[in-house]
């Protein structure tokens, strides 16, 4: 029963990830030879921006920006204690500037393409069994690198860029505590070293949820704190190169999964940035189809 | 077992504490002072200025400290959306301006260092980063920079000071003739303007008189738009389609009419003009209407209707040009 529960819950956690503050790795592990593949669609939109010192109403030039993506996600258990996670998103960012404003500036409303390839290895290095619960300690290492040749250096146009064209390395520690009744909570803390002048960032996430054979649900709060060497948009040091801005964020959200038939299930969730720095105040949702084996 | 339980709870507590402490909150930075660019972007009343700053390429400049002043500061006289609207300009229509002209126009609103409100007084002046001076003028209880009323002063920015004005300031950096030619040759608007006026000045051999030279006088010039000349043609029973059509009129007549638009008074901004009469070089008085909302009407002795200023207060090197929507006629009888 416990194995079954882990198996199901491990399918479903982390899809909208890539642009997003939510971590691509969870505290659930695959058994050896087992895996999951997910195709998901996500959509988020913002018309307010967290700038310093205050939030502004209306995205400069583009008024409102929506970001939609289709992601392919896979996770596979190499051993019972070592999983590999990969993710590739195709992203479309779309502004709402009028034709006239676009013509005035030589801008375009849309940027789209394959963004970054992301791969994580995660290793459960310690597991504590208790009477009615279990604590796993997991370490994860990840690489994210641009797959597409999308542009990140188009000045103000890059308000609708789909990524930072940056290669990053992330190390992460995860503590996962779950009870036999299905309630679980996990915390993760990581640090990401980033290229292309993107400030390095401290990442953290706290999640609480319920995982049973018939469904899975969790709520999370995720943070990114960028190094202070990053610049603030339209403040001293800003050069018009958005990747070097200091992006902080606090995002909350819900994720859910229901199995449908023979390893196939549906996943979905909602999420919203509740605070941030140099970031669109986006709210979004996602849905996806998961297949596990 | 107990130890492990404690360990697990401690671990989660550490992560939980960290996650919550690392939450991004406004209090982390709400004490920071916005830059001049940030003020424009944050304030709905400056949305056209914001768009102009993006289009004109000065948004990044005004985000940063001023490298050309020891204080690191700029002073910006920021036109409101209403100020742009006076010229028919908004986020959408800014494209009628050539980008270099827009950039220079924005920079004419900027000076090095902090010029605070208490240092702004009638009779004083300030040099813009373009190198061109702006004049301060007192009128009643109001203070003007050129023809623009200062609506608010001393908005503090991380890289300087912002004052709010009710009109966009325009300076060409060249003399009256060259300014008109700049409009005629589409260096200001993307389509030509004042092309009939330029043609008329050349036809009437007045270009020399209006060209700046050492010791030459400065003027106030009322410059009729192309449409104003076309309307005049219609009123005269002629058809003015292209500028050369002005040559259907006798040269002397054109010269007389043109001289009716030029006042040898050192060049006055609207803020310095009053209701009453002024005498142009042509000799027959023009009548100025009341100073209302920053402009005045002007009527020639031969006009049935007053002309309105469509672009007031254009500073040139030898005078001030007010673009008007009607040709000012002397008594031609």
Token duo for residue A62: 């583009």
- B90 reaches A (C-beta below 8 A): no
Answer yes or no: are the C-beta atoms of B165 and B78 closer than 8 Å: yes
CB contact under 8 A, A54 and B23: no
- B50 reaches A (C-beta below 8 A): yes
- Nearest-neighbour CA in chain A from B17: distance (Å): 10
Could you tell me which chain B residue has the CA closest to the CA of A277?
A: B24
Answer yes or no: are the C-beta atoms of A48 and A60 closer than 8 Å: no
- A175 reaches B (C-beta below 8 A): yes
Per-residue pLDDT of B205-223, as tens digits, reads: 999 999 999 989 999 999 9
Could you tell me which residue, A17 or A241, shows the higher pLDDT? A241
Q: State the residue for tokens 């003015």.
A: B240
Per-residue pLDDT of B3-21, as tens digits, reads: 556 666 666 666 666 666 6
Q: In 3-state terms, what secondary structure has residue A103? A: helix
Q: Which residues 136-155 on chain A approach chain B with CB closer than 8 angstroms? A: 137, 155
Task: For residues A8-29, give the mean pLDDT.
Answer: 53
Per-residue pLDDT of A216-256, as tens digits, reads: 999 999 999 999 999 999 999 999 999 999 999 999 999 99
Task: For residues B37-58, give the mean pLDDT.
Answer: 97
Could you tell me which chain B residue has the CA closest to the CA of A107?
A: B55
How much is the pLDDT for A23?
74
- Nearest-neighbour CA in chain A from B21: distance (Å): 10
Token duo for residue A136: 């796993």
Number of other CB atoms surrounding residue B241 within 10 Å: 9
Partners of residue A135 in chain B, C-beta under 8 Å = 4, 7-8, 11
Q: Which of A29-43, B18-32, B213-227 has the lowest mean pLDDT?
A: B18-32
Q: Which residues of B321-331 are buried (b: 16+ CB within 10 A; e: fewer)?
A: bbbbbbbbbbe
Token duo for residue B217: 């006088």
How much is the pLDDT for A16?
29
Domain ranges across chain A: 2-292
Per-residue pLDDT of A51-65, as tens digits, reads: 999 999 999 999 999
B176-324: CATH number: 2.30.180.10
Partners of residue B162 in chain A, C-beta under 8 Å = none
Give the closest of A54, A225, A238 to B30, CB-based.
Answer: A54
Per-residue pLDDT of B140-181, as tens digits, reads: 999 999 999 999 999 999 999 999 999 999 999 999 999 999
Give the closest of B14, B30, B42 to A56, CB-based.
Answer: B42
Q: Which residues 94-133 on chain B approach chain A with CB closer than 8 angstroms? A: 94-95
Task: Enumerate helices (H) and strands (E) in chain A, giving the number of each.
Answer: 2, 16
How much is the pLDDT for A21?
40
Partners of residue B5 in chain A, C-beta under 8 Å = 130
Answer yes or no: are the C-beta atoms of A41 and A286 closer than 8 Å: yes
Give, in degrees to the nearest 5, the angle at Cα B205 between B203 and B209: 140
Residue B26 has pLDDT above 60, yes or no: no
Partners of residue A60 in chain B, C-beta under 8 Å = 41, 50, 54
Q: Which CATH architecture has domain B36-169?
A: Roll (2.30)
Residue A5 has pLDDT above 70, yes or no: no
- Nearest-neighbour CA in chain A from B298: distance (Å): 34
Partners of residue B92 in chain A, C-beta under 8 Å = 98, 100-101, 104
Q: What is the pTM of this model?
A: 0.91
Nearest partner of A265 among A290, A241, A247, A286, judged by Cα:
A290
Could you tell me which chain A residue has the CA closest to the CA of B29?
A: A53
Task: For residues A275-289, give the mean pLDDT.
Answer: 95
Task: Enumerate helices (H) and strands (E) in chain B, giving the number of each.
Answer: 10, 15
Could you tell me which chain B residue has the CA closest to the CA of A208?
A: B16
Best residue in A49, A50, A51, A53 for a mutation probing chain B (most B CBs within 10 Å): A53
- Nearest-neighbour CA in chain A from B83: distance (Å): 19
A2-292: CATH number: 2.40.160.40
**Confidence band for A13, pLDDT divided at 50, 70 and 90:** very low
- A281 reaches B (C-beta below 8 A): no
**Whole-Å CA distances, B86 to A102, A253, A285, B81, B90:** 23, 47, 44, 9, 10
Q: Which residues 66-85 on chain A approach chain B with CB closer than 8 angstroms? A: none
**Confidence band for A4, pLDDT divided at 50, 70 and 90:** very low
Could you tell me which chain B residue has the CA closest to the CA of A220?
A: B19
Partners of residue A156 in chain B, C-beta under 8 Å = 54, 59
Give residues with Cβ within 8 angstroms of A47, minimum separation 6: A57, A58, A59, A63, A64, A65
Best residue in B9, B19, B97 for a mutation probing chain A (most A CBs within 10 Å): B19
Partners of residue A63 in chain B, C-beta under 8 Å = none
Per-residue pLDDT of B310-332, as tens digits, reads: 999 999 999 999 999 999 999 97
How much is the pLDDT for A214?
86
How much is the pLDDT for B16?
67
Domain ranges across chain B: 36-169, 176-324
- Nearest-neighbour CA in chain B from A261: distance (Å): 35
- A131 reaches B (C-beta below 8 A): yes
Q: Which residues 19-48 on chain B approach chain A with CB closer than 8 angstroms? A: 19-20, 22-26, 28-35, 37-38, 41-42, 44, 47
How much is the pLDDT for A212?
87
Residue A159 has pLDDT above 90, yes or no: yes
* Interface ipTM: 0.89
Answer yes or no: are the C-beta atoms of A255 and A267 closer than 8 Å: yes
**Cα gap A75→A96, rounded to integer Å:** 36
Per-residue pLDDT of B240-298, as tens digits, reads: 999 999 999 999 999 999 999 999 999 999 999 999 999 999 989 999 999 999 999 99
Q: Which residues 88-127 on chain A approach chain B with CB closer than 8 angstroms? A: 98, 100-101, 103-105
CB contact under 8 A, B23 and A275: yes
Partners of residue B14 in chain A, C-beta under 8 Å = 187
How much is the pLDDT for B152?
98
How much is the pLDDT for B19?
62
**Cα gap A70→A87, rounded to integer Å:** 10
């Amino acid at each position: 029963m416990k194995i079954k529960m882990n198996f199901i819950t491990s399918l479903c956690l982390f899809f909208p990830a890539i642009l997003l503050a939510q971590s691509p790795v969870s505290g659930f592990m695959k058994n050896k030879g087992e895996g999951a593949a997910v195709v998901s669609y996500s959509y988020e939109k913002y018309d307010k921006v967290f700038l310093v010192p205050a939030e502004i109403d209306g995205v400069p030039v583009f008024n409102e920006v929506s970001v939609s993506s289709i992601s392919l996600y896979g996770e596979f258990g190499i051993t019972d204690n070592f999983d590999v996670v990969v993710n590739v998103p195709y992203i479309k960012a779309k502004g709402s500037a009028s034709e006239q404003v676009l013509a005035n500036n030589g801008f375009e409303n849309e940027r789209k393409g394959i963004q970054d390839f992301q791969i994580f290895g995660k290793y459960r290095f310690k597991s504590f069994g208790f009477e009615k619960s279990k604590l796993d300690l997991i370490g994860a290492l990840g690489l994210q690198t641009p797959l597409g040749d999308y542009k990140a250096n188009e000045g103000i146009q890059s308000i609708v860029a789909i990524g930072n064209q940056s290669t990053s390395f992330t190390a992460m520690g995860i503590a996962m505590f779950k009870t036999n009744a299905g309630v679980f909570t996990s915390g993760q803390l990581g640090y990401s070293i980033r290229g292309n002048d993107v400030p390095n960032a401290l990442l953290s996430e706290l999640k609480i949820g319920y995982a049973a054979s018939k469904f899975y649900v969790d709520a999370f709060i995720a943070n990114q704190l960028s190094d202070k060497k990053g610049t603030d948009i339209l403040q001293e040091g800003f050069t018009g190169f958005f990747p070097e801005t200091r992006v902080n964020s606090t995002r909350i959200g819900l994720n859910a999964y229901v199995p449908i038939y023979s390893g196939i299930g549906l996943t979905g969730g909602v999420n919203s940035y509740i605070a941030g720095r140099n970031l669109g105040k986006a709210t979004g949702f996602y849905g996806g189809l998961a297949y596990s084996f | 077992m107990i130890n492990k339980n404690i360990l697990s709870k401690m671990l989660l507590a550490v992560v939980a504490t960290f996650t919550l402490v690392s939450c991004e909150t406004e209090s982390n930075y709400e004490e920071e002072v916005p830059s001049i660019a940030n003020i424009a972007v944050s304030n709905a009343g400056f949305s056209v200025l914001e768009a102009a700053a993006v289009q004109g390429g000065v948004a990044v400049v005004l985000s940063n400290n001023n490298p050309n002043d020891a204080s690191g500061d700029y002073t910006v006289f920021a036109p409101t959306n209403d100020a742009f609207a006076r010229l028919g300009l908004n986020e959408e229509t800014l494209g009628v301006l050539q980008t270099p002209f827009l950039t220079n126009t924005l920079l004419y609103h900027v000076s090095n260092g902090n010029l605070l409100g208490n240092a702004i007084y009638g009779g004083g002046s300030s040099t813009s980063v373009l190198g061109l001076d702006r004049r301060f003028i007192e009128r009643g209880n109001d203070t003007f920079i050129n023809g623009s009323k200062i609506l608010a002063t001393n908005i503090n920015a991380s890289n300087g000071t912002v004052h709010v004005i009710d009109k966009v300031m325009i300076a060409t950096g060249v003399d009256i003739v060259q300014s008109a030619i700049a409009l005629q040759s589409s260096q200001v608007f993307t389509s030509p303007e004042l092309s009939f006026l330029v043609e008329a000045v050349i036809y009437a051999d007045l270009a020399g008189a209006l060209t700046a030279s050492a010791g030459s006088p400065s003027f106030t010039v009322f410059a009729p738009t192309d449409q104003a000349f076309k309307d005049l043609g219609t009123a005269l029973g002629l058809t003015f389609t292209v500028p050369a059509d002005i040559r259907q009129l006798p040269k002397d007549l054109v010269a007389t009419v043109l001289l009716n638009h030029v006042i040898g008074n050192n060049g006055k901004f609207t803020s310095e003009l009053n209701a009453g009469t002024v005498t142009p070089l042509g000799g027959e008085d023009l009548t100025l209407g009341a100073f209302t909302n920053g402009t005045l009407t002007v009527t020639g002795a031969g006009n049935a209707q007053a002309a309105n200023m469509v672009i007031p207060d254009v500073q040139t090197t030898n005078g001030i040009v007010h673009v008007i929507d009607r040709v000012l006629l002397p008594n031609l009888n």
